[in-house]
């Protein structure tokens, strides 16, 4: 960790301490702030964030599951090399899963759920106008979660959430690119309109295209940060 005083570990609504550590360390790894090969010491990280070892240990396990951290027997946890191919594979899979969610949501969302989806989407415009990237990251999660739930298929929702966790750091990072949050808001608007109109094929197509656009933005972010070769 750095010698600068650590920022407070702020929890998003409903976020656990270990999830917050995953989010913060994941962002530092993806940005290159924590370079490949850096040892991640549980005690040092815990002291940095004012936490016990338990949530830190849980966070490192989660990061290892996403491929951002490598756990070496008897040596501890280390920052892994970012695998561009693996990241792209996961995003391609994510595009199919989220496309299914959007298509099912177009067929199945009703009443209050439809109203809530529209309200969530509209709330994003204020964040875009304020250029609130951190707020928009949280908003983006809420909107996609509403669509997963609206699909009305718990197995699909759980599978989609699992893959999403594996690329969460990359999805969050891409919002640091210029104009990305405003472009994302436009893409969301098209998807939400298709869902509310009950147009399942169009909702599926637009969501797939959206996630592949996110994939391209995430890759561009990594190249900009020199995490992967130009």
Spatial neighbors of 156 by CB under 8 A, at least 6 apart, are 97, 100, 101, 104, 148
Position 10 in a domain: no
Residue 210: give its domain's CATH number. Answer: 1.20.120.530
Contacting residues for 90 by C-beta, under 8 A, at least 6 apart:
163, 166, 167
Determine the Cα–Cα distance for residues 40 and 80; give it in Å rounded to an integer. 11
What's the start-to-end Cα distance of the chain, in Å?
27
Strands (E) located in 73-124: 76-79
Mark residue 67 as left, alpha or beta (left: phi above 0; alpha: psi -120 to 50; beta: remaining). Answer: left
Local confidence band at 49 (pLDDT 50, 70, 90 cut-offs): confident
Say if 8 falls within a structural domain.
no
pLDDT reading at 3 higher than 50: no
Q: Is residue 53 located within the same domain as residue 91?
A: no
- Shared-domain flag, residues 154 and 218: yes
Question: Residue 229 pLDDT more than 70?
Answer: no
Rounded CA separation 103/179 (Å): 27
Same domain, 56 and 140: no
Q: By residue range, what is the domain housing residue 153?
A: 84-224
Whether residues 128 and 172 fall in one domain: yes
Residue 49 counted as domain residue: yes
Q: Which CATH number do you get for residue 66?
A: 1.10.10.10
Do residues 130 and 205 both lie within one domain?
yes
pLDDT of residue 7: 56
pLDDT band at 5 (very low <50, low <70, confident <90, very high): very low
The answer to whether position 43 is within a domain reads yes
More confident residue, 98 or 230: 98
Same domain, 69 and 126: no
Strand order in the sheet with 39-40: 39-40, 76-79, 69-72
**DSSP string for 30-87:** HHTSS-TT-EE-HHHHHHHHT--HHHHHHHHHHHHHHTSEEEETTTEEEEPPP-HHHH
pTM of the predicted model as reported, rounded to 2 decimal places: 0.83
**Per residue in 126-154, pLDDT tens?**
999 999 988 998 999 999 999 999 999 99
Q: What is the pLDDT of residue 2?
A: 46
Residue 5 lies in a domain: no
Task: Establish if 211 belongs to a structural domain.
Answer: yes
Kindly give, in sequence order, each residue whose CB lies less than 8 Å from that of residue 62, ignoring residues fewer than 6 positions away: 18, 19, 22, 165
Angle between helices 84-108 and 180-196 (to 10 degrees): 30
The verdict on 74 and 92 lying in the same domain is no
| Residue 209, domain member (yes or no) | yes
Average pLDDT, the chain: 89
pLDDT digits (tens, 9 = 90+) for 184-204: 999 999 999 999 999 999 999
Residues 164 and 139 in one domain: yes
**57-94 pLDDT per residue, tens:** 999 998 998 889 998 888 889 998 878 888 899 999 99
Domains of the chain: total: 2
Shared domain check, 91 and 72: no
Specify if 125 maps to a domain. yes
């Amino acid at each position: 960790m750095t010698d600068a005083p650590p920022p407070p570990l702020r929890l998003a609504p409903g976020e656990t301490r270990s999830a917050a550590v995953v989010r913060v360390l994941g962002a530092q790894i993806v940005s290159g702030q924590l370079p490949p090969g850096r040892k991640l010491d549980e005690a040092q990280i815990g002291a940095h964030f004012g936490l016990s070892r338990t949530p830190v240990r849980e966070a490192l396990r989660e990061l290892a599951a996403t491929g951002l951290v490598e756990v070496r027997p008897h040596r501890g946890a280390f920052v892994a090399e970012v695998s561009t191919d693996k990241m792209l594979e996961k995003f391609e899979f994510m595009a199919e899963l989220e496309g299914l969610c959007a298509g099912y949501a177009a067929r199945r969302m009703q009443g209050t759920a439809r109203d809530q989806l529209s309200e969530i989407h509209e709330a994003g415009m204020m964040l875009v106008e304020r250029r609130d990237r951190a707020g928009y990251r949280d908003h983006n999660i809420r909107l996609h979660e509403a669509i997963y739930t609206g699909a009305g298929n718990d197995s699909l929702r759980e599978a989609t959430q699992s893959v999403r966790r594996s690329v969460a750091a990359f999805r969050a990072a891409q919002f640091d690119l210029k104009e990305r949050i405003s472009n994302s808001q436009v893409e969301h608007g098209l998807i939400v309109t298709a869902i509310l109109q009950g147009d399942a094929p169009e909702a599926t197509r637009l969501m797939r295209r959206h996630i592949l656009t996110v994939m391209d933005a995430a890759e561009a972010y990594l190249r900009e940060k020199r995490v992967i070769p130009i």
